[in-house]
């Protein structure tokens, strides 16, 4: 005699069965100040004293960045491709940066320009020779428009590229995170370089320009 697994007057747990095939939802990002849920294209605040980047809703970004003590600075959203940027190989070599990618921003707390480059260990600071940077700044007056702390010059000279951008600081944090999370072995591996190429392709599109072709075979790194 067969037994009915469903008790009398009770429907099968259809939704319970379906839930087994539904992937759990990823937790949404939250505002670091008020904990409200954030969308993917949210605002950011930067605290110069700690060099900390905070995710923020628009209300908190406006409120806290407008305070008199200026503890936080709102990170702008503008992106600019610097097509006419002038930087010779000799000038680049004089900066003493060991890789072909770097980020330059003005530290208002220490009152100096900082040079950082991404690495598998995170962002690494390079000692910036004052004379070398002064020459580059003189040749490129557009750098005077760069907002202290929250904007940066992003240089990409990896694998034959010559790309220069004025970017909000959160873009560089994103680039550092890609490299830190995806780096494998000595050269990084093809996966991380695909991610980096996609990052710069998206940056070019956001700046309104054509995506430059990759001059080197994908996955080969000579940073």
Q: 120-176: per-residue pLDDT in tens?
A: 877 888 888 889 999 999 999 999 999 999 999 999 998 888 999 999 998 888 888
Tokens linked to 186: 């000595």
pLDDT, tens digit (0-9, with 9 covering 90-100), for 39-88: 888 999 999 999 898 999 999 988 877 765 678 899 998 899 999 999 99
**Neighbouring-strand partners of residue 184:** 188
116 within 8 A of 126, measured Cβ to Cβ: yes
- Say yes or no to pLDDT of 108 above 80: yes
pLDDT, tens digit (0-9, with 9 covering 90-100), for 61-74: 888 777 656 788 99
Confidence band, pLDDT 50/70/90 cuts, at residue 26: low
| Angstrom distance (rounded) from CA 67 to CA 61 | 10
Pairing, β 101-107 against β 80-81? unpaired
Tokens linked to 47: 């605290």
> Quick check: helix, strand or coil at residue 115?
strand
What CA–CA distances, in Å, run from 146 to 41, 55, 169?
22, 21, 11
| Angstrom distance (rounded) from CA 214 to CA 216 | 6
pTM, full prediction: 0.75
- Say yes or no to pLDDT of 8 above 60: no
């Amino acid at each position: 005699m067969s037994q009915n697994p469903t008790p009398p007057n009770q429907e099968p747990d259809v939704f319970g069965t379906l839930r087994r095939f539904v992937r759990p939802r990823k937790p949404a990002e939250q505002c670091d100040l008020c904990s409200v849920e954030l969308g993917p294209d949210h605002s950011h605040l930067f605290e110069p004293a700690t060099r900390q980047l905070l995710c923020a809703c628009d209300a908190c970004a406006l409120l806290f960045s407008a305070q008199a003590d200026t503890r936080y600075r709102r990170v702008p959203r503008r992106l600019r491709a610097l097509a006419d940027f002038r930087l010779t190989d000799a000038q680049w070599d004089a900066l003493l940066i060991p890789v072909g990618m770097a980020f330059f921003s003005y530290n208002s707390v220490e009152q100096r320009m900082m040079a950082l480059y991404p690495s598998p260990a995170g962002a690494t600071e390079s000692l910036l020779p004052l004379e070398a940077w002064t020459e580059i700044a003189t040749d490129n007056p557009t750098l005077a428009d760069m907002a202290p702390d929250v904007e940066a010059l992003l240089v990409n000279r990896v694998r034959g590229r010559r790309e220069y951008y004025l970017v909000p600081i959160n873009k560089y944090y994103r680039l550092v995170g890609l490299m830190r999370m995806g780096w494998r072995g000595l050269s990084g591996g093809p996966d991380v370089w695909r991610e980096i190429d996609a990052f710069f392709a998206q940056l070019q599109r956001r700046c309104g320009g054509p995506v430059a072709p990759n001059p080197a075979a994908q996955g080969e790194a000579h940073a």
